[in-house]
Structure 1
C-alpha cells in the first residue's frame, strides 16, 4: 500500500468527479467492481455507493481474455 493509502485522497477524487458530473446535469453514475475485490467494494460503499440487486450486467466477450 502506498503512502497515501487511507488518507482520504480517493474519497476526495470521487467527490470531485461527482461534483463535476453534477454541474453537467448528470445525477446518476455506475461503477463496476469485481466480485472478488472486497476491498474495492468496501471503498465504494463507504463513499455512498449502493450495491444494486435489481439489475444484471451482461457482457459479450470475443476471444479468451474475459477481462479485456
Structure 2
C-alpha cells in the first residue's frame, strides 16, 4: 500500500484556493496547526505537513466556503 503524499503547510493556502475555497492566510493556518484545529502532522524534520485529501476538513474547520 502506497503512503499518501503529504505537502508542506506553506503550500496549503494555494491548495485551498486551487480546490475552489476562499483565500486564507498562511499565518491563520499555521496558528490552527499549532492549536490542533486542522488535521496536520509534523514530519521527521519537524515541518508541518498536510494530506491533500483533508482539504475539505481543513476548509470546514477554518470556516471557508467554496467560491
TM-score normalised according to structure 1 size: 0.27
Higher relative contact order (CA 8 A, sep 6+): 2
Q: Which has the higher strand share?
A: 2
What TM-score, normalized to structure 2?
0.27
Higher radius of gyration, 1 or 2: 1
Q: Which has the higher helix share?
A: 2
